[in-house]
Amino acid sequence: MKKVVLVGFGFMGLTHTVNILKNKRLHLVAIVDKNIGNVEKNLGDPSGNLATGSISRELLQGIKLYSDLDECLLLENTDAVFICVHTDLHVELAEKALNAGKHVFLEKPICLDIRQGEALVKLAAAKGLVLMVGHVVRFMPAYQQLKQWIGSGEFGALKFLSLTRFSGVPAWGQWMEKQVAFGSSGGALFDLNIHDIDFAQSVLGEPDSINSYLRAGKLSNQDYVNAVWNYHDSGIIVKIEGGNTFHSTFPFQAGYMAQFEKASVLYTSLKSENISISTDAETILLPAGDANDGFSGEVEYFTECMESGTAPAECTPESALLTIKICYNHLKTN
């Protein structure tokens, strides 16, 4: 059983804690949060842009609490660190964990500074440690099914893919502080729409060209994204649209539409039970699975990589860096 520490007990920290506790091959020994009171607060009032599970106070009995990662790493015997803090602390905390000889699961995005990210990748490789970035959409059943259809050619060649992701302005946790520190989170482009950007590049590769329109919001100058990707050889067009410019209570929604030669498919989190498959003759519904399985799936995959001592083939840090580079390419064409 691998011993792990989790850093940052906000929305994503709580989400990963749920799945670490469910995983029989992991043992959560400590939680680190600069404000230890957040652990009790978020247990009683979990908040985020979707429901990902909850934890009773009893389940956290025996798990130590720290306000400082350095102290935790000094006192606790652990194998890995889950880092679930805001983007501007990713590199600093990941470096500490790697230098302490710990495997690292790092929430997306890997970083905003590509050079820092490259140094982080080299550090993990030099230490022989697993560094995996949590691009959870790759593990969600509805998106895995779409990837399978694209790869298998079951419906013929892909012609057009639309990926959308919208939410209200995040108002939980430290997000109000990020409004004051305008741009520090990377905004929706690097924090929200990056999910779809990463999925598209993981399935189709880097596009040949990007035409984008961006709009400022409360967090950055790129809180709304409307982009068209072109793949010249295949003729595939990908549309990326979304953002977090709506009011805070606006319901989160994400999904895709894909046009293949022989069928068109539709999935939306607003009707998450099914994927709709339409031909000229009929529409059928296929069970979409539970999106929350993506969170447990990525934790399980990270655990397998740790146990086998092999670098992840999915959600590699190199792929995560490519996603960041593609995000920056949207800024160039605005």
Q: Please give the average per-residue pLDDT across 213-225, as a whole number.
A: 95
DSSP state of 60: G
pLDDT for 201 beyond 60: yes
Task: Tell which residue, 334, 331, 323, 114, has the closest CA to residue 206.
Answer: 323
Domains of the chain: 2-134 (3.40.50.720), 138-292+324-332 (3.30.360.10)
Task: Quick: pLDDT tens for 58-113.
Answer: 778 889 999 999 999 999 999 999 999 999 999 999 999 999 999 999 999 999 99
Residue 173 has pLDDT above 80, yes or no: no
Place of tokens 């880092």: 83
On the question of pLDDT at 51 being above 60, the answer is no
Using an 8 Å Cβ cutoff, are 39 and 9 in contact?
A: yes
- The neighbour count for residue 268, using CB atoms within 10 Å, is 17
Contacts of 280 (CB under 8 A, 6+ apart): none
pLDDT score of 90 = 97
Q: Average the pLDDT over 254-280 and give the result.
A: 98
Is residue 2 within 8 A of residue 307, CB to CB? The reply is yes
Cα(83)–Cα(69) distance, rounded to whole angstroms? 10
Band the pLDDT of 246: cuts 50, 70, 90: very high
Q: How far apart are CA 219 and CA 217, in angstroms?
A: 6
> What pLDDT, on a 0 to 100 scale, did the predictor assign at position 175?
63
> From CA 305, how far away is CA 325, in angstroms rounded?
25
Q: Average the pLDDT over 315-333 and give the result.
A: 94
Q: Output 11 or 223, whichever has higher pLDDT.
A: 223
pTM over 0.85: yes
CB–CB of 318/114 below 8 Å? no
User: What is the spatial distance between Cα 294 and Cα 274, in angstroms, rounded to a whole number?
Assistant: 16
pLDDT at 178: 74
Q: Is the pLDDT of residue 30 over 80?
A: yes
Average pLDDT, integer, range 204-225: 96
Closest alpha carbon to 295 in 8, 20, 6:
20
Q: What is the mean pLDDT of residues 276-293?
A: 97
Task: Give the contacts of 79 (CB within 8 A, at least 6 positions apart).
Answer: 2, 3, 4, 102, 103, 306
pLDDT score, position 184: 77
- Higher per-residue pLDDT: 122 or 48: 122
Residue 47 has pLDDT above 70, yes or no: no
User: What is the model's pLDDT at position 10?
Assistant: 87
- Please tell me the distance from the alpha carbon of residue 278 to that of residue 299, in angstroms, as a whole number: 34
pLDDT of 53 reads 59
In 3D space, the residue among 174, 168, 150 whose CA is nearest the CA of residue 160 turns out to be: 150
Cα–Cα distance measured from residue 284 to residue 286, given in angstroms and rounded to the nearest whole number: 7
Give the pLDDT band (50/70/90) at residue 183: confident
Note the pLDDT tens digit of each residue in 103-136: 999 999 999 999 999 999 999 999 999 999 999 9
Report the candidate in 34, 33, 35, 7 with the shortest Cα–Cα distance to residue 20: 7
Region 10-25: what's the mean pLDDT? 93
Beta carbons of 110 and 133 less than 8 angstroms apart? yes
- pLDDT surpassing 80 at residue 44: no
Q: Mean pLDDT throughout 169-177? A: 74
Lookup: tokens for 309: 């001592």
Lowest mean pLDDT among 49-53, 194-198, 320-324: 49-53
Percent of the chain with pLDDT over 70: 94
